Amino acid sequence: MREAAGGGGEAGFKKVVRPRSPLLLSLGSRVHVFRFGHAPSGALELEDDTFKAVKPGLSSHAGDPAGAAASLQPLLDLALATVPPPKHAATALMVGATAGLRLLPGGQADEILAGVRARLAADSPFAVDAAAGVTILDGQAEGAFAWLTLNYLLGHLGKPAEATVAAIDLGGGSVQHAYALHARDADGAPPGYVRALAGGGRRYSVYVHSYLGFGLMAGRSAVLAAGETAAAAAGAAAGHPCVPAAPCGGAQPAAGDDASRKERAGDAAGAAGAGPPPSCAYTYGPATHDLSAASTGGASFGHCSAVAKDALAKGRPCGAPADQCSFDGAWGGAGRPSALYVSSYFWDRAVDAGLVPAAAAVAASLSPADLRAAGERACAASTDAVRAAFPAAAPDLAPYMCLDLAFQHALLTHGFGLPEAQGVTLVKKVAYRGREVEAAWPLGAALDALAALAA
């Protein structure tokens, strides 16, 4: 398990056990060198993607912009070796810094990016756009490029907006929703929701919104907080309807039992000292929530779902007619295509819940009703029984299966307005010309950069 930023092993007088905290440490930097050929129709066909990863990432060089820039040299070397020299000057290079760099305080991220720009200007023969060549990608840009990638791999670019697919990508901190709008809907969109993208010889107005704080890890915190607030308002006893009985593996252990408890909970916190019994809690960012089951003795999908829906803040105004608002005060767009692809943690929990075979890699279908059925099973069981009932899930996930499935169900039905029986496509990779290709943002960024060069 990786520690959350700012998370320590102690919280007040209590030792905090975190069965699974969000991942906020940089995984490093990667270069993708995409090579495209031309189909007889003139469309770009992805031929290969050579990539290389280095660790640590740029964010590990905070305060050392030159060192940060130098850390990318092995990646540039691969690009130089892969792209034929006569094509260097005509090849677009883009550096997109994502969540790891966004977390740096003050101007450290800007200093690092300035160092990278300077290094590229001095040493790289590639074409780097002065404005967009080296940037911090916000969630909206990531979502837009990921939409472009998905529709490219599915062969939908170049088709009308209604023939493309919509995408909902559930990360840890945010969930992103993207789809192509009809021109008339794009014209009437509130500011900040539409991004112009090009692909397949057609220009698209893509609705994209990143709901910060509603990724799965952040969503857990929001749902736990909403339950705590509701219980406090009702004067009810402590306990949460999304938390199963014995969330950390049984009766409260004595202080000497700490090691075995941590092992069950999958926690890698430091050694415990003598002191009060440890608490079982979930920490996300600055918030810590005690995990305790409702006084009725366990979780309830119905009650948990109600709390999850509360956490989505559906009724918050969005500056447009209420029927156009999705949740958390966001405009939900208009005229979403019927085909919807969901990914990332949607995929993960579907595998954990046995809704998708673990060996599957490309795509599977499910409906919100499937999530509800799995959630009802998880919520009705004790933590140990969840482990037995969902063998594909990591043991430390058991305290959260009810919550996660109820949150995902609420997100799709209450947040994004899907009918209970509507089928959606779960996607991890896309079958493209006989291979399985991950639908991540870098390919979309490459396509967008090539379109800009051709314009």
Among 171, 241, 244, 253, binds another protein (CB under 8 A): 171
The type of residue at 267 is D
Q: Which of 175, 448, 184, 203 is nearest to 326 (CA)?
A: 175
Distance CA 284, CA 62 (A): 23
Interacting positions 312-351 with another protein (CB under 8 A)? 343-345, 347-348, 351
Closer of 182 and 435 to another protein (Cβ): 435
Span of 159-167, 275-283, 369-377, 437-445 interacting with another protein by CB under 8 A = 437-445
Q: Is 53 in the site for another protein (CB under 8 A)?
A: yes
Closer of 369 and 394 to another protein (Cβ): 394
Closer of 237 and 431 to another protein (Cβ): 431
Interacting positions 413-432 with another protein (CB under 8 A)? 428-429, 432
Interacting positions 195-234 with another protein (CB under 8 A)? 215, 217
CA distances in angstroms from 12 to 15, 16, 140, 256, 288, listed in the order given: 8, 9, 37, 20, 11
Among 54, 66, 318, 364, binds another protein (CB under 8 A): 54
* Helix axes 301-311 and 216-234, enclosed angle (nearest 10): 100
Distance CA 444, CA 450 (A): 10
User: Residue 424: helix, strand or coil by DSSP?
Assistant: strand
Q: For the CA atoms of the chain, what is the radius of gyration?
A: 23
Q: Is 144 in the site for another protein (CB under 8 A)?
A: no
Catalytic-residue membership of 111: no
User: Residue 204: helix, strand or coil by DSSP?
Assistant: strand
**Structure-token pair, residue 226:** 């909403």
Span of 101-109, 221-229, 244-252, 322-330 interacting with another protein by CB under 8 A = 101-109
**Structure-token pair, residue 438:** 């991950």
Closer of 72 and 304 to another protein (Cβ): 72
Angle at 329 between CA 23 and CA 24, to 5 degrees: 10
Q: Is 155 in the site for another protein (CB under 8 A)?
A: no
Distance CA 64, CA 72 (A): 13
Closer of 185 and 352 to another protein (Cβ): 352
Among 173, 239, 247, 395, binds another protein (CB under 8 A): 173
User: Residue 318: helix, strand or coil by DSSP?
Assistant: coil
Q: Is 361 in the site for another protein (CB under 8 A)?
A: yes
Number of residues that bind another protein (CB under 8 A): 93
Distance CA 331, CA 179 (A): 13
Among 7, 18, 21, 44, binds another protein (CB under 8 A): 44
Closer of 123 and 162 to another protein (Cβ): 123
> First CA to last CA across the chain, in angstroms?
46
Q: Is 437 in the site for another protein (CB under 8 A)?
A: yes
> What is the nearest approach in angstroms of another protein to the Cβ of residue 44?
7
Q: Is 126 in the site for another protein (CB under 8 A)?
A: yes
Q: Which of 293, 289, 279, 286 is nearest to 13 (CA)?
A: 279
> What is the nearest approach in angstroms of another protein to the Cβ of residue 363?
13
Closer of 258 and 448 to another protein (Cβ): 448
The type of residue at 132 is A
The phi-psi region of residue 246 (left if phi > 0; otherwise alpha if psi is between -120 and 50; otherwise beta) is left
Give me the catalytic one of 3, 111, 142, 376.
142
Interacting positions 64-93 with another protein (CB under 8 A)? 72, 74-75, 78-79, 81-84, 87, 90-93
DSSP state of 273: -
Q: Which residues are catalytic?
A: 142
